[in-house]
């Protein structure tokens, strides 16, 4: 709080009075006649009683500010406190807006509303009334008669309308010198200020600057906190703090629920974190943390956790060891979700493995095809020879078995070749619903044999897809067979629909489902969950390869005991070029 001695205030009063007289002289030189008569009308009060009521009441304003009250309420209380020093005095506070360079209404509870509206947004300038000029000059401006002072030329009618004859304005600033606003005093009659009144204006302006700067700081901090909170909640990073000895979590950020599905409260339970580390990682993670938590060095490591919905989430944990009295006491860190990166790396490795296996498969198929052709040719000649009576029935049966085995080998070779993606791929605009119907015809008998119920929900007027119809038909057949084989009596739903800019095929079953570990390998070649039932593990690998080669995507969602949903998303065929299109 700034206070001024009576002597200093009197000195400032004499200076301001001299400045006012100089202003009047300049006004007369500029054609403002009758100055002497107007000077006679200006009242100069003789009282110099200290503003004891204001100085005793300012603590109430500060307590209101400290309580977190709204700025408008604090400034209103300040204005009313200042006005209490004189029955004929009216006060106002204008706030400066740096972005527009203007002053805006902040508090003036007893000034006319129309007047407050008229000066709301007033511009700073050399002749912009008392407040606009004070802000422009960055010093106090005393106008003793608003109807005749050139500073009020643009606002003379406004002052006359509301009978505001004198206005003294004090600008106030932040602790770093930024302009914050003005504190003004109005009277209904022309008059000059006494030293005690100038002290009151300075003290009120100083208190207003404290209130406004504090609120601006609070708003800035709150805005920064909100931005940081939004950023922290959006990124998949979990801040945490734990006891170094027990690994008991002391704090876990709300991002834990977004990343893993567990609310922060769950993490405070003893042993919660380690219990949800992936079973394959749990042992070495426990040993690694036990060894490093007692050291004086920070550490980081990568491991897997099982999310609330069964997903496998990869985390990169960055750990800071905090020491007290030379001993590790607290662990602080960030768990960064790196699942997307790990999946991308695995996809790249899978692509490399598929390329290598494709080359191997092509070589195997080529080598097997030659002897297979010879076996088939020999068997056919033997059967023909037997048919002419040169053999017996047993010979015919044996030759038939040879032919059937050779034909089965041929089908296996065809599958391997398809997996190797050696052949050409003729692509045409196709109706996905027509492909689904053909696949239904091919799998209907098998579904009946497994007592499966297959229901179709095919959307009409879907865009055509640009695919190899044979290959895409094989995709649908593979998905249907996988669903049908999930368990006897399964319910399978097949749905086609538009999805964003693509065409989507979804095959859902209520079979036995898969674990998170099985889902992570479902498209690996030769990986199968039905090895005992004769599964080769190539069907979904081939399906994945076909879909990817057509620019599409295939995804799987599955939970043990709940079933599986396979979704294929394919881009639509480009529309045919019209005449004149390039």
CA nearest 85: which of 47, 39, 118, 131?
47
- Distance set, CA 223 to CA 53, 178, 209, 213, 306 (Å): 37, 20, 21, 15, 35
530: pLDDT strictly greater than 70: no
Secondary structure element (H or E) that encloses residue 39, with its range:
helix 35-41
Secondary structure element (H or E) that encloses residue 23, with its range:
helix 6-29
With a pLDDT cut of 90, the percent of the chain lying above it is: 43
423: pLDDT strictly greater than 50: no
Asked if residue 227 is part of any domain, the answer here is no
Q: Residue 92: which CATH number?
A: 3.30.450.40
Asked if residue 350 is part of any domain, the answer here is yes
CA nearest 182: which of 198, 205, 211?
205
Question: Do 455 and 549 belong to one domain?
Answer: yes
385: pLDDT strictly greater than 50: yes
CA–chain centroid gap for 320, Å, is 26
Question: Do 529 and 382 belong to one domain?
Answer: no
**Count of residues making up the chain:** 582
Handedness of CA 518, 520, 522, 524 (dihedral sign): negative
Task: Give the span between the Cα atoms of 339 and 350, in whole angstroms.
Answer: 16
Among the candidates 293, 314, 337, a domain finishes at 337
575: pLDDT strictly greater than 60: no
Instruction: Count other Cβ atoms within 10 Å, centred on residue 57.
Output: 17
439: pLDDT strictly greater than 70: yes
Task: Give the span between the Cα atoms of 106 and 121, in whole angstroms.
Answer: 11
295 within 8 A of 331, measured Cβ to Cβ: no
Question: Do 299 and 192 belong to one domain?
Answer: no
Question: Do 319 and 366 belong to one domain?
Answer: no
129: pLDDT strictly greater than 90: yes
Cα angle vertex 155, ends 150, 160, to 5°? Answer: 100
pLDDT of residue 493: 95
Name the DSSP class of 338: -
**pLDDT band of 14, cuts 50, 70, 90:** very low
pLDDT of residue 289: 87
Residues ≥6 apart with Cβ < 8 Å to 443: 454, 477, 480, 481, 484
Asked if residue 239 is part of any domain, the answer here is yes
Task: Give the span between the Cα atoms of 173 and 96, in whole angstroms.
Answer: 10
Among the candidates 396, 420, 444, a domain finishes at 420
- The token pair that represents 506 in the structure block: 């979804």
311: pLDDT strictly greater than 70: yes
535: pLDDT strictly greater than 70: no
Handedness of CA 387, 393, 394, 398 (dihedral sign): positive
pLDDT of residue 48: 40
Question: Do 389 and 331 belong to one domain?
Answer: no
Question: Do 302 and 330 belong to one domain?
Answer: yes
pLDDT of residue 512: 87
Asked if residue 323 is part of any domain, the answer here is yes
579: pLDDT strictly greater than 60: no
Phi/psi of residue 407, nearest 5 degrees: -65, -35
pLDDT of residue 347: 78
More confident residue, 254 or 42: 254
Average pLDDT over residues 376-393: 68
238: pLDDT strictly greater than 60: yes
Domain span holding position 473:
428-570
pLDDT of residue 536: 53
Asked if residue 226 is part of any domain, the answer here is no
93 within 8 A of 182, measured Cβ to Cβ: yes
512 within 8 A of 561, measured Cβ to Cβ: yes
Task: Give the span between the Cα atoms of 437 and 443, in whole angstroms.
Answer: 10
18: pLDDT strictly greater than 70: no
In a 3-state reduction of DSSP, which class is residue 579? coil
**pLDDT band of 305, cuts 50, 70, 90:** very high
**pLDDT band of 49, cuts 50, 70, 90:** very low
Task: Give the span between the Cα atoms of 79 and 67, in whole angstroms.
Answer: 18
More confident residue, 44 or 312: 312
183 within 8 A of 135, measured Cβ to Cβ: no
Average pLDDT over residues 120-124: 95
Question: Do 252 and 112 belong to one domain?
Answer: no
pLDDT of residue 95: 96
Task: Give the span between the Cα atoms of 161 and 115, in whole angstroms.
Answer: 9
274: pLDDT strictly greater than 80: yes
- The token pair that represents 480 in the structure block: 């249907």
Asked if residue 230 is part of any domain, the answer here is no
Question: Do 317 and 359 belong to one domain?
Answer: no
143: pLDDT strictly greater than 90: yes
Question: How many domains does the chain divide into?
Answer: 4
Q: Residue 284: which CATH number?
A: 3.30.450.20
Task: Give the span between the Cα atoms of 543 and 564, in whole angstroms.
Answer: 16
98 φψ region: left (φ > 0), alpha (ψ -120 to 50), beta (else): alpha
pLDDT of residue 343: 86
With a pLDDT cut of 70, the percent of the chain lying above it is: 75
**pLDDT band of 546, cuts 50, 70, 90:** confident
Among the candidates 387, 420, 453, a domain finishes at 420
Least confident piece of the model among 201-215, 268-282, 302-316, 354-368? 354-368
Average pLDDT over residues 113-138: 95
Average pLDDT over residues 525-541: 62
Name the DSSP class of 182: E
pLDDT of residue 325: 78
534: pLDDT strictly greater than 60: no
Question: Do 209 and 64 belong to one domain?
Answer: yes
pLDDT of residue 527: 65
Task: Give the span between the Cα atoms of 544 and 524, in whole angstroms.
Answer: 9
Name the DSSP class of 235: S
In a 3-state reduction of DSSP, which class is residue 66? helix
Instruction: Count other Cβ atoms within 10 Å, centred on residue 2.
Output: 11
Average pLDDT over residues 366-394: 67
Task: Give the span between the Cα atoms of 376 and 340, in whole angstroms.
Answer: 50
pLDDT of residue 431: 92
Average pLDDT over residues 13-39: 39
- The token pair that represents 26 in the structure block: 């300049």
pLDDT of residue 204: 93
- The token pair that represents 484 in the structure block: 């049908």
Residue 494's DSSP bridge partners are 456, 507
Asked if residue 579 is part of any domain, the answer here is no
Instruction: Count other Cβ atoms within 10 Å, centred on residue 373.
Output: 12
Long-range own/partner contacts, residues 128-132 (CB < 8 A, 24 or more apart): 128/154, 129/154, 129/155, 129/167, 129/169, 130/167, 130/168, 130/169, 130/184, 131/92, 131/94, 131/103, 131/167, 131/169, 131/182, 131/184, 132/103
Q: Mean of the per-residue pLDDT values for the chain? A: 81
Task: Give the span between the Cα atoms of 22 and 144, in whole angstroms.
Answer: 12
6: pLDDT strictly greater than 50: no
Residue 572's DSSP bridge partners are 465
More confident residue, 404 or 73: 73
206: pLDDT strictly greater than 60: yes
CA–chain centroid gap for 155, Å, is 50
Q: What is the helix, strand, coil percentage profile of the chain, to 5? A: 50, 20, 30
As separate numbers, helices (DSSP H) first and strands (DSSP E) second, the chain gives: 18, 18
Question: Do 435 and 310 belong to one domain?
Answer: no
Task: Give the span between the Cα atoms of 128 and 131, in whole angstroms.
Answer: 7
Q: Residue 513: which CATH number?
A: 3.30.565.10
Average pLDDT over residues 537-548: 78
pLDDT of residue 415: 60
pLDDT of residue 574: 63
Question: Do 263 and 400 belong to one domain?
Answer: no
Give DSSP secondary structure letters for 548-565.
HHTT-EEEEEEETTTEEE
Average pLDDT over residues 332-338: 92
pLDDT of residue 401: 67
pLDDT of residue 364: 66
- The token pair that represents 204 in the structure block: 């009120």
Asked if residue 225 is part of any domain, the answer here is no
Average pLDDT over residues 126-146: 96
Question: Do 353 and 432 belong to one domain?
Answer: no
Residue 167's DSSP bridge partners are 143, 186
Residue 547's DSSP bridge partners are none
């Amino acid at each position: 709080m700034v206070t001024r001695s009576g002597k200093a205030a009197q000195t400032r009063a004499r200076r301001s009075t001299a400045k006012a007289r100089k202003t009047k002289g300049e006004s007369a030189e500029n054609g403002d006649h009758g100055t002497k008569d107007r000077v006679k009308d200006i009242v100069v009060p003789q009282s110099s009683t200290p503003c004891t009521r204001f100085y005793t009441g300012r603590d109430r304003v500060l307590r209101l500010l400290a309580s977190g009250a709204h700025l408008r309420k604090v400034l209103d209380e300040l204005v009313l406190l200042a006005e209490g020093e004189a029955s004929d005095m009216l006060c106002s506070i204008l706030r400066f807006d740096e972005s527009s360079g203007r002053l805006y209404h902040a508090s003036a509870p007893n000034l006319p509303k129309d007047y407050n509206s008229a000066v709301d947004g007033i511009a700073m300038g050399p002749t912009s009334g008392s407040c606009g000029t004070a802000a422009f000059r960055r010093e106090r401006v005393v106008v003793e008669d608003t109807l005749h002072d050139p500073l009020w030329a643009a606002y003379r009618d406004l002052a006359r309308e509301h009978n505001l004859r004198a206005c003294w304005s004090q600008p106030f600033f932040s602790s770093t010198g930024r302009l914050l606003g003005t504190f003004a005093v109005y009277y209904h009659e022309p008059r000059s200020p006494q030293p005690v009144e100038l002290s009151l204006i300075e003290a009120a302006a100083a208190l207003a600057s404290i209130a406004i700067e504090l609120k601006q700081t609070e708003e800035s901090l709150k805005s920064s906190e909100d931005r940081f909170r939004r950023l922290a909640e959006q990124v998949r990073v979990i801040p945490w703090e734990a006891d170094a000895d027990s690994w008991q979590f002391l704090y876990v950020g709300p991002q834990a629920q977004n990343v893993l599905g567990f609310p922060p409260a769950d993490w405070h339970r003893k042993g919660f974190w380690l219990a949800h580390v992936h079973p394959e990682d749990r042992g070495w993670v426990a040993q690694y943390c036990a060894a490093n938590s007692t050291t004086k060095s920070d550490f980081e490591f990568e491991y897997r956790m099982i999310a609330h919905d069964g997903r496998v989430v990869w985390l990169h944990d960055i750990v800071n060891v905090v020491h007290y009295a030379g001993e590790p006491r607290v662990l602080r860190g960030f768990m960064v979700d790196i699942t997307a990166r790990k999946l991308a790396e695995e996809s790249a490795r899978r692509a490399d493995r598929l390329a290598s296996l494709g080359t191997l498969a092509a070589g195997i198929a080529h080598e097997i095809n030659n002897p297979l052709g010879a076996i088939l040719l020999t068997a056919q000649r033997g059967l023909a020879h037997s048919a002419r009576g040169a053999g017996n029935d047993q010979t015919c049966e044996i030759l038939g078995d040879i032919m059937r085995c050779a034909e089965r080998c041929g089908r296996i070779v065809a599958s391997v070749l398809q997996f190797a993606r050696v052949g050409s791929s003729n692509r045409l605009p196709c109706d996905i619903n027509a492909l689904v119907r053909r696949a239904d015809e091919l799998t209907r008998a098998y579904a009946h044999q497994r007592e499966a119920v297959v229901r179709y929900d095919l959307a009409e007027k879907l865009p055509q897809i640009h695919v190899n119809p044979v290959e895409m038909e094989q995709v649908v057949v593979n998905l249907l067979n996988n669903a049908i084989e999930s368990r006897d009596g399964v319910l399978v739903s097949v749905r086609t629909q538009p999805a964003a800019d693509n065409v989507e095929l979804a095959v859902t079953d209520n079979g036995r489902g898969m674990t998170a570990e099985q889902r992570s390998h479902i498209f690996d070649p030769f990986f199968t969950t039905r090895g005992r039932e004769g599964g080769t593990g190539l069907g979904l690998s081939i399906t994945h390869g076909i879909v990817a080669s057509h620019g599409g995507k295939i995804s799987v969602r599955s939970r043990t005991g709940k079933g599986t949903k396979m979704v294929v998303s394919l881009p639509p065929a480009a529309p045919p070029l019209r005449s004149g299109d390039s």
